[in-house]
Amino acid sequence: MTITIKTGADIAALRIAGRLASEVLDMLTPHVKPGITTEALDKLAHDYIVNVQGAIPAPLNYQPPGYTPYPKSICTSVNDVICHGIPDGRALKNGDIVNIDVTVIKDGWHGDTSRMFVVGEGSIAAKRLCALTYEAMWKGIAKVKPGAHLGDIGHAIQTFVENAGFSVVREFCGHGIGQVFHEEPQVLHYGRPGTLDVLVPGMVFTIEPMVNAGQRHMREHNDGWTIKTKDRSLSAQWEHTLVVTETGYEVFTLSDGSPPPPAFINT
Ligand code: MF3
Ligand code: CO
Ligand code: CO
């Protein structure tokens, strides 16, 4: 298996899919308030993707080998849920943190992005975890340019996170993406500089670090999908889809409602 290199036409299509995925998060943002259920957020997202965007929610019925079909259109991962939380009838409450992960398919191409939301007034600790994880994602993105190695990305994220006293989840990673939801390469959020694949223009992948306030270890819920922290500490995640360009990178999953990059990114 090899890493596919996207053409100019592929990249134009991915740019559209990426923006659409981000715009779903923009649409959801005013609804992420105490009292709303994650199932209600799922329905809002599903109907918007299908009826307004003319796109497909990639998670719905997605079934990687060894999994049961995913039953919803987005992932909603609350508090100690690391990833793949399934929307349900429980209401968000003041102080919760929730990751909303959206993947759309438009004209056959995927856009995959997630953001953290603090519901109502969050604790200082919760807000710090969310902000630090956002910066960790961008520490990884900042390494992307031709000639860099995948290990440079993982190392930048891991050192930043661990120097702050938090931990990086190892069992899940970023991924190549295109006409296939999850393809090569795996993009680890930990590692050593100068290791793994060399980046070349036209590679498209996600960077989506999961950061725990406590230890890095996870446990699987018996619903076959939900992943939680073993020690029940809070967990945060952010995700962008991007392409390696001749001079660096272009992030596809941006829209009017995207938070600005951190100050260490020169745009
Ligand atoms: N969007 C997730 C990712 O970033 C994958 C979710 S798979 C699902 O890779 F089936 F749970 F939706
Ligand atoms: Co992803
Ligand atoms: Co995602």
pLDDT, tens only, 136-186: 999 999 999 999 999 999 999 999 999 999 999 999 999 999 999 999 999
Record the pTM: 0.98
CA of 100 to the centre of ligand 1 (A): 10
Q: Does residue 125 belong to any structural domain of this protein?
A: yes
Domains: count for the chain:
1
Q: Does residue 88 belong to any structural domain of this protein?
A: yes
Residue of 49, 61, 84 to mutate, ligand 1, most atoms within 8 A of C-beta: 84
Q: Does residue 39 belong to any structural domain of this protein?
A: yes
Q: Does residue 36 belong to any structural domain of this protein?
A: yes
Q: Which atom of ligand 1 lies at the shortest distance from residue 225's CA?
A: 11
Q: Does residue 100 belong to any structural domain of this protein?
A: yes
Q: What is the pLDDT of residues 86-145, one digit of tens each?
A: 999 999 999 999 999 999 999 999 999 999 999 999 999 999 999 999 999 999 999 999
Query: Which protein residues have a CB closer than 5 Å to ligand 3 (ion)?
Result: 101, 112, 239
Place of tokens 């690391």: 82
Count CA atoms closer than 13 A to 149's CA, side-chain side. Answer: 12
Q: Does residue 3 belong to any structural domain of this protein?
A: no
Band (pLDDT 50/70/90 cuts) for residue 193 is: very high
The CA distance from 179 to 187, in Å, is 18
Residue 155: which domain range? 8-266
Q: Does residue 77 belong to any structural domain of this protein?
A: yes
Q: Give helix 124-141 / helix 150-163 axis angle, nearest 10°.
A: 160
Closest CA to 20 of 205, 253, 243, 250: 253
Q: What is the pLDDT of residues 20-72, one digit of tens each?
A: 999 999 999 999 999 999 999 999 999 999 999 999 999 999 999 999 999 99
The CA distance from 226 to 82, in Å, is 8
pLDDT for residue 267 is more than 70: no
Convert 147-179 to b/e letters by CB count within 10 Å (16 or more is b). Answer: ebbbbbbbbbbbebbeeeebbbbeebbbbbbbe
Q: Does residue 167 belong to any structural domain of this protein?
A: yes
CATH of the domain at 116: 3.90.230.10
